[in-house]
Structure formats: C-alpha cells, structure tokens
Structure 1
Amino acid sequence: MNTGTWQAEPGDVEAIVNGKHHDPFSFLGLHEIQGVWVLRAFVPHAETLRAFTRDGTELGTLERRHSAGLFEGRVKVDGYQPIYYRAGNDGGEWEVQDPYTYGPVLGPMDDYYIGEGSHLRLFDKLGAHAIEFGGIEGTHFAVWAPNAQRVSVVGAFNDWDGRRNPMRKRRDTGIWEVFIPKLGPGTIYKYEIVGSDGSLLPLKADPYARQSEMRPRTASIVPDPAPFEWTDDAYMARRAEQDWRRSPMSVYEVHLGSWRKRPDGSFLSYDQLAEQLVPYAADMGYTHIELLPVSEHPFDPSWGYQPTGLFAPTARFGDPKGFARFVDAAHAAGIGIILDWVPAHFPTDEHGLSRFDGTALYEHADPRQGYHPDWNTAIYNFGRKEVAAYLLNSALYWLEVFHIDGLRVDAVASMLYLDYSRQSGQWVPNRFGSNENLEAVEFLKKVNAEAYRLNPGSFMVAEESTAWPGVSAPVDVGGLGFGFKWNMGFMNDSLRYMSREPVHRRYHHNDMTFSTVYAFSENFVLPISHDEVVHGKGSMLEKMPGDDWQKFANLRAYYGFMWGHPGKKLLFMGQEFAQREEWKDARALDWYLLDASMHEGVRRLVADLNAAYKELPSLYQRDCEPDGFEWIVGNDLGHSVFAWLRRAPDSDPVVVVSNMTPIPRENYTMPMPLAGRWQERINTDAGWYGGSNAGNQGAVMARAVDDRHMPAEASLFLPPLSTLILKFEGI
C-alpha cells in the first residue's frame, strides 16, 4: 500500500485484473486501513458501481480505478459485513454480490482433521454446498490444490472468467474456499487453476462434486441441499442386525445402461429402473442388485470403471435424488443395493484428477507407481493422507448418504501388489524390498474398518484374484477387513470344466472339486460376472458344448451345481435366461428370448433356485464354514457325478447331486446322511425348466444301512446333464 494512504498500489490493481494476485481476499472486499474503511471490487463490464449494505443502505459510488472493472472507494461502516453492488453500463444495471466481504466457512477443527488425514465428513466440507452463511443464501466451494498459485470458481454466472471469483487459500491444508452469495442449486461450475509454474491448466471438475453434467459435458453442478426423505427405516433397522455370512445372498449384477432401453434406444431413468428392474429382481428372488459403477464417468465403453466423479451418481439416468429413489424402492422390495466402487485407478481425462494442480497430486509422480499399464490410467497415491481421505470419504458417502448396502471393490489385486502387471525394473519395491503395496494395504484396512463401524449391516466385497491371505478376515486379526471375496478360482475352474465335451470331463474331475479345498479359507461369493461374457468369451449358453438341447441342459445343471455349492451367488444380467449373444454395453438384453420355452425355462430355474436357497437354511447358513459341507461322492470320475451334503444347525439337511454327462444314470446308489424321504426340491431336468422331465417322481427314499460311511443309502435316477437338490423331509 502507499504509505499514509488507503489507495491501492497499481501493482495490486494489475494483479487482480490479470488474475495473478497472490491473495485476493487481502485486497478485495471490505478493509480497515489506517482508520479508514475501504471497499474494493472487481466487476468486469461495469462502468459504475454503487455499494449497499445487506439492509439496503447505500454506501456510495466507488471510483473506477481500472478500465477492466476494478473499483475502489472509502465507505462509512461500523465493521466488517456483507456488501452488494449495483453495477451499471450503457446496457442498464445489475446486482452483484461481493464474496470478499464474507469470512471463511471452514474452521480450525476442519484444518486439524484434514491435516491429520482423519476427517470423515469431507463430503460435507469440500465440494459445492448451497448453504446460508452470514444470513445470506449462497454456495460454499472448497477444493484441495496445495501447489496451485490461484484457484477460481468459474461458470456462466461469471462468464467463465477466472479473475472474478478467485478463492481463499487455507495455507495449513492446501484447501481453497470461497462463499459466493446468491448462487444456488443447479449452478454449473468448474475450477480454473493456475499451477505452481504459473501455467493455466485445463478447467477441472470438482473432485467432491455430488452432481455432474451429462457427458460429453464435464462440468460439476451445485446439488439440491434438501435432504432426501427416506422410507426405509424398518429395512435399515433389520439390516443392522443382519449377519450376511449366515444369510442368503443371491446377487443380480446389472449394467444400468443396457439392462433395458426405451423404444428409442435411450437410457431408462433411475425412476424407470425403480419401476422395472426392482420388481423383476424381486420376482426372481434375488436378495441384492449389484450395479456396475454408477460414479460419474466420461466414456460409456468403460462401463464406469474409469470414473471421474467418485461422489456423483452418473447423470445418464437422472439426478442424485432419482438415484436415491431407486435405492429406496429396492429397500421397499426387500432388496439390497451393492455398488461397484473403483479406488484402484482413475482416468487421465484433462478435466479430472490427473495432475490436478499442475503436479502429481492424487497420483504418484513416478510412472512405475502412478501409471497403470493395463488400463492406461493413473494410480492413486495411497500413502498420501489427503488422497486416502478422499477415497475413504467416497466410500462412506455412498454408504451413508445413499443407504448403499455394500461396496464391491474393483481390482483389489492391482492395489495390493506393486509389481501387478509389470516386468522386472518397471516397479518400485516397498521399504522392505518386497512387492506388497503397504500404503494400499493400510488404506483398505481403514476403509473396511470405518465402513463397518459407521454403517451397521453394510458389507464390503473384494474382487481379488490372488491368494493374498485374510482378505475377508477382520482387521483386528491381521486381515484386510472385507466381508467377502469373489471366488475367481471357482469361476475359472468350473467354467473350464463345463466348456469341455462331457466325454472328456472325467479327465478334469478335479476342476469341479478343487474349489472345496479352499472354500472356507475366505468368505466367498461365487461370481459369474460381466467379465465372463465379453471380449470374445461367449455367452454362458455358448460356453456350453453340444447341440442346443445339451447347451441348455449343461447350463441348467451348472446353475444347480453353483447354487448347491458353498458360497454366496452372483449372476450377471441376461445369464438368468441364457442370453445367446455376448453382452454389448451399447444395446439392451434380448428380452424377446423369453418367448422361447427353453430360455423361459432357464429363467424359471434361476427363480426357483433363489427360492430354494432362501427357503433352506442348510444351503446358506454355513456358506462360509466347513461344518456346513461334506462330500458324499467326490471321486466318481468315470460317471462325472458329484454329490455332497449341505447342513446347518436345527435345519433339515440338503443333498446335492450333479450328473455332468448326457447319459441318464438309473439306480445310482450313493450314501445318504439320514434314512427317510428326501424331497426332490430342484431337478434341473424338469419339463418346467425345458428339460426331459426325467427324475425320481418328486422324492427319493433312503434306507438305513450298517457299517457304511453314512447311516443310509439311496438309489436315484440321475437325469442327463442335471443337478438334483434333495431336502430331507423325515422318516
């Protein structure tokens, strides 16, 4: 400042109008200088500027110090307070609110917890929030960009001019914030960032945005602050008492963009999905719907696995409240919602997180740590507390704000191993010289522990394809803390077996039995997911050998085998009615196939398998415990027959028998755990399902025997390519 005067130095004026001032809050707004109250404002296009207090008292006309719109003047006020202006030019007058007469919204406790990396409510603090502040409605913006020289909020409201709303930097945390009065929900905005080297970066979307524009547009949107009125209190109370390890869990995996489409080929909305998808899943008997990522993402063919908005439900299907209505409708139908959540990597789109403030902020600077060769994406720096907090808050946000029942964490193996998909010399060992990503391990433990602590009845699922120990063991006993792990071994082995001609299956019998060697080492989900029906792998039906009849019979027998096997169940959409074509994300499923009896038969079977699974505790209560399973026939290679016992305390036992050849087996004698009548609860060869309708006329009688492995024995008719599920009914 000029010594002895309140007027601004020309250098400060030039810095403001050129968008290069190091601290605009120290210059703009209301300031007391040597006993004089001075008001400064930058209002491009204005030729005159009159100042007013909040109650409408006029303070006078400010002097135009620069033709670009910098105004300054002395005013008579009794202290700091909000100010607004009447700007004018030849085109008329308009009102301008002054953000620089408002103090910070974030407080010292926010700084403390942010600095510590332990803030669990960042989604309420960072991003854009329409609030009342200083008695005025407006929007508070906050973003982390510690290495930036300047960060501004830009949008149509300020002509996308980064000079007009530069933000205040909280130096201890690297958070930039500003409250802009009168700006409300629906405002489209981005951040204009000047990097540490003075270069102007591409405009950035808000990392904490709760709502985004519909692609290909990429701006963020100030969300409606009104809380959603949930109707699922009773559901959430029941969920809080649920032990999912000992509960039935049959999951319908869905890509919302291609489950069904409107007649014109456009997407169904969240509300339409609530009206159509939820009742369908309920009618099919599924307990959960798992959604491929709904976090905002720019590229449809990524299926959501390259997200740019980890707090925003994608605008493809509607707004955030529409998504909440979808979840609420699912809960009303007794169905849980699982989200695919992607903390393993992020895309390098220029509007996203990549080099957010001109430096490697969210990612590692070293490409051996920060670049993913498989997906051409960036890898989060899990060792940076602000990045770990960002991801942790994303997980907690979905669970809390949208009442999500579970998160399936994608590509966990790529997070755990520093050398994942890398050759020697392409990765950096940890401090012990080994390949474990210690920071990612600690991050996963933290996310899982907090998710379970803060959201009773929710659960976390890992897609983890290696033998990392204790993935689904609690953190306090040395595990990663997930509730469940996808059983990729079961999926790979069993599909490899089923793809073989039945005459060759006897030589690969252990492909179907090996999974039980490790079935209880983790809490497993048996996943037949979207990954198995894309990229030339063929649909589930087309994986099966033989003519059309045998393909359907094989598929039905396989589903029966899977539902009888220990572990929770997951099928991708279309598999439940034997979609013939591979999944294509750009087109809807072939629902017309249900007009054909064989396809409708598979759909009926899956619905009945779900019903039997939920009805018979022996099929689910000990899914994750060895005392719920025992082989009866595990080594009949010559006939390709498998039989096993499922049991649970205080429940009737269940016997599952699979014949994986097209040869019917008459009078097939096998041990049974109890003498008496065993109801044929499921026969995958039933005519109702499109089979040959061979079987045991609804029941099997087991007779008592002595000196055998089991106390009873039965002679069964095993239909060709079939699975039987037999429930004990009594003597």
Structure 2
Amino acid sequence: MTKLSAEAYAIIEGRHSDPFHYLGLHIEGDQNVVRAFLPEASNVEAVGEHGETAPLARIHDSGLFAGALPNGSKRYQLRARYGDNVVDLDDPYRFPPVLTDFDLYLLGEGTHQRLYDKLGAHPMTLDGVEGVAFVVLAPNARRVSVVGDFNFWNARRHPMRVRGVGYWELFIPHARVGDHYKFDIVGPQGQHLALKSDPMAFAAEVRPSTASIVLDETRIPHPRPAPSGINALGSPMSIYEVHLGSWRRKSHNEWLTYRELAEQLPRYARDLGFTHIEFLPVNEHPFDGSWGYQPTGLYAPTSRFGTPEDFSALVDACHREGLGVMLDWVPGHFPDDPHGLGHFDGTALYEHANPLQGRHLDWGTLIYNYGRTEVVNFLVSNALFWLERYAIDGLRVDAVASMLYLDYSRPAGGWIPNKHGGRENLEAIDFLRRFNTEVFARFPEATTAAEESTAWPQVSRPVEFGGLGFGYKWNMGWMHDTLNYISKEPIHRKFHHGDILFGLHYAFSENFILPLSHDEVVHGKRSILGRMPGDDWQRFANLRAYYSFMFGHPGKKLMFMGCEFAQEREWSHDRSLDWHLLDQKNHAGIQSLIRDLNRLYQALPALHELDCDPSGFEWIVTDDANGNVFAWIRKGNDARARCLVVVNFSPNVYYNYHVRVPFAGKWREVLNSDSAHYGGSNVGNVGEVHTLDGLVPELNLTIPPLAAIFLVPEN
C-alpha cells in the first residue's frame, strides 16, 4: 500500500474537519481521481456516467479506496462489494453544497426567518438523486459527523463539511424519511461528546430514547385556519388550558393519542363555551415531570402522543370546532441533558458560559445566551415555525420575568450586572421585542401572551412605543390577590376588601388575561375548590361566586383543566382528571355554570368588547366591606350595551339592596350563580327587576348568598 498523507489518516481516524478536501472527485494532474472511505467493503469500483467501470485500489485496510475515473468522466457512482452482496452507491462527497451563499449571509447576520427550511434534516433531490440533507450549527467543533440508520451509526462514514460561521452540512444519498439519526461531535479540545440530538429535528423518538427522526414536514397536512379575529382585543377570549398527557386517560393509565384527543377534546371545550385551547408545552422533552417546560426538541411535537401529522390533526380538529389554539412556549431555559443543547459543540453555544448568567438556580436548567445572533435566530424562527407549519394561533411565553431580570431568584453577588450596572437583561429585552415584532408582522391574526409576574411596564404595548410588544399579559397580581381573598372565611373578608379593589387600579395598564392556571393547583397549593372555606355547601357556593366574579371582571379568561368541574385533588401529570366527580350534583353544577358563564361572556358585548379598555368599566359598589358586596357596570361599544354585575362574598342574603344603574326601566337577571341548576339555593330576583322611581335610576335587589348576579337592561 502507498504511503498515506496526514489527511488520509484524519479520514480513517474520524477527525477530518473538511472531508470534501480529500474524499470525492479531485483533479490531479490530467486525471479525475476519486477517493472513498467505505469500511467493511472488500473492493470498490467507480462507475462512470456512461456505465464504464474502473477499479479503485484499497490504499488502507480500514476501507480507504482511490483511483482514476474512466475516460475523464465527472459524474460517477460507487459499486462496492460487501461479502456476497454488490451495492451501487452514490458518493455523498460528489454533491454540491446544500446551503447557498445567500443562506450563509442571512445565517451570519442572524436574519434567516425560515431557519427551519435549511437547518435540520430535509429530504430532497440533489443533482437528480433522492436523499436527505443534514445541516447543524457547531462553530467550535473540530469535526461533526451525522450518524444513523443509514450508516450503522458509524461516525467515520459521514463526516460533514463546515461552511460560513460554523454550519456543518452533508447530503446523504438514499437516506430517507423515518431514519433515526444524531450528530457525533468532536469538541475544540479534541474531546468526544455524547451523541447530540438535532436541535432542529421535526420528530424524535419516544423517551427515554433520544434519537431524532427524519421527517418531511412540508408534507404534513396543514390545519384549516381558526375563525378570523379570534384573538382581537374586542373579541371574547376564554382559554381552556390543557396538559395533553393527563386531561383524560385510557384504561391501564395509558395516554390518549393526538388522534383520540382530536375526537374528544375540541368538542368538549366547545360545548363548554371556551374560545381557545392552550396546550402546556408540546415540544419534545425527556422528563414527564417537567410537564414539557424543559424541552430538548423545540421543533418537534412530543412523540408521546403520536406523530407530527397526528398533532396537526389535533390542531385541525380544534379549528374545525371554531377554537383558537395557543401553545406554551419556553424560550427562557432548557435542560442540561447530555443529548440536548447544553455544551452542544464542546462549548457554551446556546447558553452562557458563566453559571451566574447561564444557569437557573430554581430549576437547574440552562439559560439561552440572548446576546448571540445564532441563538436569537434559532428561537425566533422556532416561534414562526409553529405558527406557519401547524397554524398555531398564539404563543404564551413562559417565565418572562426570569428572562427580563439578571438577578431573578439569585442571591446578592450571585449575578452579573448589565453594561450599565443594572439588573435588566438588555439582550433578552431585545430578543422579546424582535420575537413579537416578527410574529405580528408575519402573522397579524396571531397573538402572544407573557407570563410576567412583576410590574415590568408596557409588556403588552407596541415595541415602537417602548413596550415589549406582547398581545396580552397574564395578570398574576389579580390571581394572587383574589385567591387570597376567597380563601378567607367570609367573616374575615372585610379585612381583605382591598384584595378585590386593588386589581382595578391597574386593570387597564396592560391587555390582561386573568389566569387560573396549572401552577395554582399543584405543589401543596390545593385545587381551586380546595381553597374554599366552610362546609361543603359553602365551598361550592364560594367557588361559583368566585368564577362568576372572574367572568364579570375586565380581562380575558384562562382556566386550567379540571377547574371547570371543581377537581377536588391537586392536579397530577401522571393520572387522569377525576371525571367521575361529574356524577355528583355539586360538581356537575360547577360545570354547568362554566358553560353558561362562557356563553354569557360571548353573547354580551358589554362583557368582552372593552375587556382591555377603562371606558368599559365603572364601579358601583366598593365600600360595603362589612357586607362583602361588590357591584360594577361592564360596558360595550354600543350605548345600551351594559351589564350590571353584583357579587356577594358573604353567606348572608341581602334583601332590598339598592344599586344605581345607568338606565331606568326593566333589567333582566341573565345569570344567577345561586340557581338550583348549579347547586345553589335559588335565591334571586325571579328573572327581572324594575328601577325605582327617583332622579337616579336604582334597582332594589335581592342578592343571594355567596353568589353573583348579572343583569342587563331590557332593550
């Protein structure tokens, strides 16, 4: 055998960083020379474009072959013998680049809005040959190989070439949809990393397996669109928040599939009058107990419940029922599982290297480096991907406060100030503004919502006016204050009267969603019903009054699954909701109330048109702390679109309770949470009440105990 070059040994030993420089077709003198690395092959021939053949000499026992193409041919195949089998192969190292120069320009600039069309694994036909193009970012790697079902998971067979600022690519002929794959990476110090899943994978194995799966996601049927205007500020918006793995389960505690959920969940949510379904994160994640909030595959719907095509069918079923679909989206942190993004190319590529910036103490997860162009491009493209490929109608961004503050949940001295010495994460702020700007520019009918637990200003105000640009913000203060109030015994509520009033001081400073979310029914907080004081009758009456108060209050609504029928136990991700409770009258009554509240909320413009506008609200009774009574008027755009809401958080019945109203005449009682239909005592106003004679119109009301009543003027 001839004496080999250092390049040849780099190929043999699987450490060559530019295999195209050595393998494939090269002009040497007056000959076209082909070199191929085919371990286990006993002999190899080059087959020219007209079928002529020429043997390639084995120049190393490891499987390195070289020889001249016949008759100056420039296109060729390889014919290799493996034992008794002879196989014709297309050489990956004869194909042109996958990424164009324009792609590389946009990638380097960080403005490639369709990253998902280029990075990852894409079935394609290149130079007349079908195969799969693989592209991955690993700028600090010495060598990257793609390994999978198509090459016996042998990293020496398919080393990739690096282009631009660290994008490794390779087209593998005859790789196909369904193949499992990962990336084998050698870090900058020569360290061999654990096999990495594809950050851009569109599908993945069911945990605990972690391989990525080749998918032609462009062939996934596109869901039909949701109704137009479903996310508008003036539209009713009542969101049913769902964890897909525990909403309902089959026998033996098995998950429902996406297809089975599509048959049941949208119809159920629509029957109860919800306008949207929000899924806890559906991105691929290794740990069930993270509920999806520690994702490793941001571009892949979790394989727990089926395929990406199945997930698309679930979205389509929601849209068919007239429901919008929102996803919980987690750009705030990611887990440090060895197959994931952490230390991806042997360096802190996606995260900050310094743990004072790059690791969350509360969750043990890693924090994205929002100052890195490639990372921001990766995240923004991911947001656009879900809206485009799966017709998602909105993204709720998790843990925004943890992104905005460098000292979030950190002790003194345990964080790094920004360049001005402050605690604000300037790069994260820029990222959130860019994210919202690009989402609304590309998908003006979509929306975004921030889970932001501090008083950060203008979260849901336009970027051009200094805001973060979100469509909505979760009102965490309202949730905290009102749950604190309702958990008190009625006799003590007069000392907490301000918990109800305070929220209206800032209710219109943002476009708010009122959330009763999954976080409020776990970790010892008890279920919402579990927080209600008193005997069994009072607990359910309190809950009915509280839910009615929520639907009468300004702001869009969100309710976690199970709350709609008064789940007694805390939520657990590894079991079904307690659907058997609906056999009991009190629980069925709560469900009926939610159905009627949702329908009333949608039917009355006064309850939704000005949800986020101070002109849509007017206090009527604020000073009856001893009686635990509140009353207000909700207003719509039309002068006669008015609704009086009266809530009594005491167990007393109040007769002859005078409440002023804007119009004289008959007012209809359109909902009473004390109705026997919901499990109440049936105290009320027999359907209608007339204003008293006088200069100022007043109603003489009977106010039921631990209940709310809604009245509208008769047109």
TM-score tier (shorter): over 0.9
Q: 2:371 aligns with which of 380, 383, 394?
A: 383
Aligned 8 A contact 1:348 1:354 in 2: yes
The alpha-carbon distance between structure 1 residues 117 and 80, as it changes in their structure 2 partners (threshold 3 A), is farther
Deviation at 1:635, TM superposition (A): 1.3
Deviation at 1:704, TM superposition (A): 4.5
Question: Which amino acid letter does the alignment assign opposite residue 590 of structure 2?
Answer: V
Q: 2:506 aligns with which of 518, 521, 535?
A: 518
Deviation at 1:681, TM superposition (A): 1.1
Question: Which amino acid letter does the alignment assign opposite residue 646 of structure 2?
Answer: V
Equivalent in the alignment of 1:498: 486
Residues 603-623 of structure 1 show CA distances to partners (whole Å, capped at 9, x for unaligned) of 000010000000000000000
Aligned 8 A contact 2:81 2:87 in 1: yes
The alpha-carbon distance between structure 1 residues 569 and 242, as it changes in their structure 2 partners (threshold 3 A), is closer
Aligned 8 A contact 2:246 2:574 in 1: yes
Equivalent in the alignment of 2:671: 682
Q: 2:17 aligns with which of 22, 31, 35?
A: 22
Deviates more, 1:218-227 or 1:207-216: 218-227
Q: 1:449 aligns with which of 426, 433, 437?
A: 437
Cα distance in 1 for partners of 2:341, 2:82 equals 40
Cα distance in 2 for partners of 1:142, 1:232 equals 31
Equivalent in the alignment of 2:603: 615
- Map 1:69-108 to 2 at 5 A: 69-76=63-70, 78=72, 80-81=74-75, 83-108=76-101
Question: Which amino acid letter does the alignment assign opposite residue 32 of structure 2?
Answer: W
Question: Which amino acid letter does the alignment assign opposite residue 478 of structure 2?
Answer: F
Q: Percent identity?
A: 54
Question: Which amino acid letter does the alignment assign opposite residue 703 of structure 1?
Answer: L
Aligned 8 A contact 1:674 1:704 in 2: no
Question: Which amino acid letter does the alignment assign opposite residue 681 of structure 1?
Answer: V
Deviation at 1:309, TM superposition (A): 0.6
Equivalent in the alignment of 2:178: 186
Equivalent in the alignment of 2:360: 372
Q: 1:280 aligns with which of 253, 268, 282?
A: 268
Cα distance in 1 for partners of 2:204, 2:87 equals 29
Deviation at 1:20, TM superposition (A): 1.5
Unaligned runs of 5+ in 1: none
Residues 199-238 of structure 1 show CA distances to partners (whole Å, capped at 9, x for unaligned) of 11000000011111110000100003452333625x4xx5
Cα distance in 1 for partners of 2:212, 2:222 equals 25
Deviation at 1:668, TM superposition (A): 1.1
Cα distance in 1 for partners of 2:461, 2:693 equals 41
Aligned 8 A contact 1:337 1:404 in 2: yes
Question: Which amino acid letter does the alignment assign opposite residue 60 of structure 1?
Answer: A
The alpha-carbon distance between structure 1 residues 664 and 383, as it changes in their structure 2 partners (threshold 3 A), is same
- Map 1:327-346 to 2 at 5 A: 327-346=315-334
Cα distance in 2 for partners of 1:230, 1:15 equals 45
Deviates more, 1:34-43 or 1:349-358: 34-43
Aligned 8 A contact 1:527 1:570 in 2: yes
Cα distance in 1 for partners of 2:447, 2:554 equals 19
- Map 1:51-130 to 2 at 5 A: 51-53=46-48, 57-76=51-70, 78=72, 80-81=74-75, 83-130=76-123
Residues 444-492 of structure 1 show CA distances to partners (whole Å, capped at 9, x for unaligned) of 0000000000012100000000000000000011100000000000000
Q: Secondary structure at the match of 1:569?
A: strand
Q: Secondary structure at the match of 1:244?
A: coil
Q: 1:246 aligns with which of 225, 228, 234?
A: 234
- Map 1:240-639 to 2 at 5 A: 241=229, 244-639=232-627
Question: Which amino acid letter does the alignment assign opposite residue 63 of structure 1?
Answer: A
Aligned 8 A contact 2:31 2:72 in 1: no
Q: Secondary structure at the match of 1:703?
A: coil
Deviation at 1:93, TM superposition (A): 2.6
Equivalent in the alignment of 2:213: 221
Cα distance in 2 for partners of 1:87, 1:338 equals 52
Q: Secondary structure at the match of 1:635?
A: strand
Cα distance in 1 for partners of 2:3, 2:238 equals 69
TM-score (ref. length: structure 1): 0.96
TM-score (ref. length: structure 2): 0.98
Question: Which amino acid letter does the alignment assign opposite residue 27 of structure 2?
Answer: E
Cα distance in 1 for partners of 2:39, 2:146 equals 16
Displacement over 6 Å in runs of 4+: none
Question: Which amino acid letter does the alignment assign opposite residue 185 of structure 1?
Answer: V
Residue 694 (structure 1) aligned with residue 683 (structure 2): yes
Deviation at 1:12, TM superposition (A): 2.3
Q: Secondary structure at the match of 1:378?
A: coil
Cα distance in 1 for partners of 2:408, 2:629 equals 38
Q: Secondary structure at the match of 2:690?
A: strand
The alpha-carbon distance between structure 1 residues 61 and 326, as it changes in their structure 2 partners (threshold 3 A), is same
Q: Secondary structure at the match of 2:183?
A: strand
Residues 422-461 of structure 1 show CA distances to partners (whole Å, capped at 9, x for unaligned) of 1111111111110000000000000000000001210000
Q: Secondary structure at the match of 2:541?
A: helix
Q: Secondary structure at the match of 1:372?
A: coil
Deviation at 1:128, TM superposition (A): 0.3
Deviates more, 1:189-198 or 1:264-273: 264-273
Cα distance in 2 for partners of 1:634, 1:79 equals 90
Cα distance in 1 for partners of 2:10, 2:43 equals 21
Deviates more, 1:493-502 or 1:19-28: 19-28
Aligned 8 A contact 2:223 2:390 in 1: no
Equivalent in the alignment of 1:669: 658
Cα distance in 2 for partners of 1:41, 1:702 equals 93
Deviation at 1:22, TM superposition (A): 2.9
Deviation at 1:123, TM superposition (A): 0.6
Cα distance in 2 for partners of 1:494, 1:728 equals 28
Q: Secondary structure at the match of 1:264?
A: helix
Equivalent in the alignment of 1:44: 39
Q: 2:222 aligns with which of 217, 220, 230?
A: 230
Deviation at 1:95, TM superposition (A): 3.6
Question: Which amino acid letter does the alignment assign opposite residue 179 of structure 1?
Answer: F
Residues 661-680 of structure 1 show CA distances to partners (whole Å, capped at 9, x for unaligned) of 11111111111121111111
Q: Secondary structure at the match of 1:177?
A: strand
State how many pairs are aligned. 714
Deviates more, 1:136-145 or 1:645-654: 645-654
Aligned 8 A contact 1:430 1:438 in 2: yes
Aligned 8 A contact 1:80 1:101 in 2: no
Deviation at 1:703, TM superposition (A): 2.7
Unaligned runs of 5+ in 2: none
Aligned 8 A contact 1:544 1:555 in 2: yes
Cα distance in 1 for partners of 2:663, 2:73 equals 88
Aligned 8 A contact 1:185 1:225 in 2: no
Question: Which amino acid letter does the alignment assign opposite residue 707 of structure 2?
Answer: S
The alpha-carbon distance between structure 1 residues 298 and 65, as it changes in their structure 2 partners (threshold 3 A), is same
Q: Secondary structure at the match of 1:621?
A: coil
Question: Which amino acid letter does the alignment assign opposite residue 54 of structure 2?
Answer: G
Cα distance in 1 for partners of 2:686, 2:512 equals 34
Deviation at 1:75, TM superposition (A): 1.0
RMSD across aligned C-alpha pairs, in angstroms? 1.4
Cα distance in 2 for partners of 1:110, 1:86 equals 34
